[in-house]
Structure 1
């Protein structure tokens, strides 16, 4: 799959995951992943401020929910979603077609290196898609080249793990008492942009001006009830059971179900979460 995808060597591992089994799982559960982040949708779209006739670049678009929303808002303009995952892009194209959004297009490419037409876009957006770049400065610089002067770049990224209850709860359950290795804070992954000062520095080095960071909090939704949320999370994190013997595996599964059941409420299974809304401008 990834052999046909031209990626920067720094992003090769991410390409293998997203254009492999991980991307397939996200494609198969597109509605659940979109629903999980729904509490951030309104503020993210407000900050994106997509206007009629504008051209929008959606970085790490996944199954295309944000690309489609941008296409609806830009009317006669265009929205291009870019992602590493062929599986997720197939879902994105299908859904855009079902909604008759002829101004939404999708491209399988590495946004860190893809040769976008210079100054082709008015706005670049990314909903939890920019934390996985192997070289974020190179990626941000490439996105800056694709934006016209005065163009905006709006990102939603995760705050640190202690601010995200879901991450700590699931990791603790699946660890089954093990001390799991902690990757370096700047390694590609969900929390690589959790330090707002680092993110500001990276954007400034890439040529953006006035990086602004706004703290947002909201519930993270994992399913309508314990059983369905348990199956969803286990499908996402089942790899963490590798190497466990039967008693520890049973312990991990029991602990996972216990925390999920404890978080089931009238709106379904929800955990506290926190993100940064990051905005920057091309001079």
Structure 2
């Protein structure tokens, strides 16, 4: 695994942020379940699939089910705690899946090994996105396909920013820096297109899609306390201030709660491409 002390993303995803995803794995899988189906539909029986930024493995396992015993799905992620969980899940499910704990930007993939490269919100964190996608293209066969989902802008995703907007008057949160690796790093479709062109991908499409997502309202408290920028700051606050922030933030999520279910729309880009031009 290429994880060094100079890689901020490696440090981040191997700290409490990675453990928070493991702790909330069931809720997050429920929330993002529609993307499992979308990515499974993008692969075929018998194929070799690479799942980039696979997290705790839900999309890797979904594609492994689709490719079946004649194929294989490989998940790669920089987070050791999430990869450990993914490996346990794959073993329990007895699926054709394996995992690498590594940085996909630098990892020495076998050349021309994969029929499809897929990702659910896992490609916005590279230090050098063009270099990363060039590495992924080398790992794909000439007929290999790219099929990714990435967030559009923060303004189009009010659920994803509700906690920090509500908490802002009460506590200082880490800023989201434009142009830096992070959740909304691919917000600009023109930037995404330029990255993939520079990396050598062909037949590129960047299409806006809105995906309805939902999870049980019982999981909202864990989401507020552990996920996103607020989840990283809450443990540093004294108890009275922490309770004041949580109470304020809970109110900000009320518009998304419908009975026993939290519902929101994920405003995304569906990004597709081919490793080479298909002739004939």
Deviation track 1:232-267 (CA, whole Å, cap 9, x = no partner) reads: 321223323477677764442221111233422145
Q: RMSD in angstroms over aligned alpha carbons?
A: 2.2
Which stretch of the first structure deviates more once superposed, 171-180 or 26-35?
171-180
Change (3 A) 1:262 1:92: same
CA shift, 1:218, in A, is 2.7
- Local SS of the residue matching 1:116: coil
Change (3 A) 1:19 1:241: closer
- Local SS of the residue matching 1:129: coil
CA shift, 1:127, in A, is 0.5
- Local SS of the residue matching 1:66: helix
Which stretch of the first structure deviates more once superposed, 19-28 or 117-126?
19-28
Deviation track 1:98-125 (CA, whole Å, cap 9, x = no partner) reads: 1111x21111111000110110111100
Name the structure 2 match of 1:166. Answer: 159
Q: Does 1:91 align with 2:85?
A: yes
CA shift, 1:94, in A, is 1.4
Which stretch of the first structure deviates more once superposed, 273-282 or 173-182?
173-182
Candidates 193, 196, 211, aligned match of 1:218: 211
Which stretch of the first structure deviates more once superposed, 161-170 or 202-211?
161-170
Name the structure 2 match of 1:40. Answer: 35
TM-score if structure 1 supplies the norm length? 0.88
CA shift, 1:181, in A, is 6.4
- Local SS of the residue matching 2:45: coil
TM-score if structure 2 supplies the norm length? 0.89
Which stretch of the first structure deviates more once superposed, 68-77 or 198-207?
68-77
Name the structure 2 match of 1:18. Answer: 13
Candidates 3, 6, 9, aligned match of 2:2: 6
**Aligned positions of 1:45-194 closer than 5 A:** 45-46=40-41, 48=42, 50-75=43-68, 76-101=70-95, 103-176=96-169, 182-194=175-187
Which stretch of the first structure deviates more once superposed, 212-221 or 127-136?
212-221
Change (3 A) 1:249 1:17: same
Distance 1:104 1:246 in 2: 43
Structure 1: stretches of 5+ with no match in the other structure: none
* Matched pairs, number: 273
Which stretch of the first structure deviates more once superposed, 200-209 or 90-99?
90-99
Change (3 A) 1:21 1:145: same
Name the structure 2 match of 1:277. Answer: 270
Q: Does 1:229 align with 2:224?
A: no
- Local SS of the residue matching 1:277: strand
